[in-house]
Amino acid sequence: MTEDHMSKPHKLTEGEKHILKLIRRDSGVDGWTPVSKAVAPLFVDKKIPCGTMPDALCEFEHIGTDGAGRARLTQKGIDVLDTMAWLL
């Protein structure tokens, strides 16, 4: 996918749905979920062929210097997951 993947609405891939569910499942009381160095590129590396996680649904920030970070759902991401629960 192209850079438009992040800015334009699109049908979520199974991988994106899975990551969103993991963020929700593993989030702490503050809403943040630890993200390993190996998974962090899925949020920030624009060179990944399938694109990065949609900014409208989740946010990411690096923690420390090893490449790991944390992610949390935006309100829109929470709403999408809540809606998906009704559709499946």
Q: What is the pLDDT of residues 28-55, one digit of tens each?
A: 999 999 999 999 999 998 888 777 899 9
pLDDT attached to residue 16 = 92
What the block records as the tokens of 14 is 């199974």
Q: Report yes or no on whether pTM surpasses 0.85.
A: no
Nearest to 20 by CA among 9, 28, 12: 12
Reported confidence tier of residue 4, pLDDT bands at 50, 70, 90: very low
Q: Which CATH architecture has domain 14-87?
A: Orthogonal Bundle (1.10)
- Mean pLDDT throughout 78-82? 95
Are the C-beta atoms of 37 and 67 separated by less than 8 Å? yes
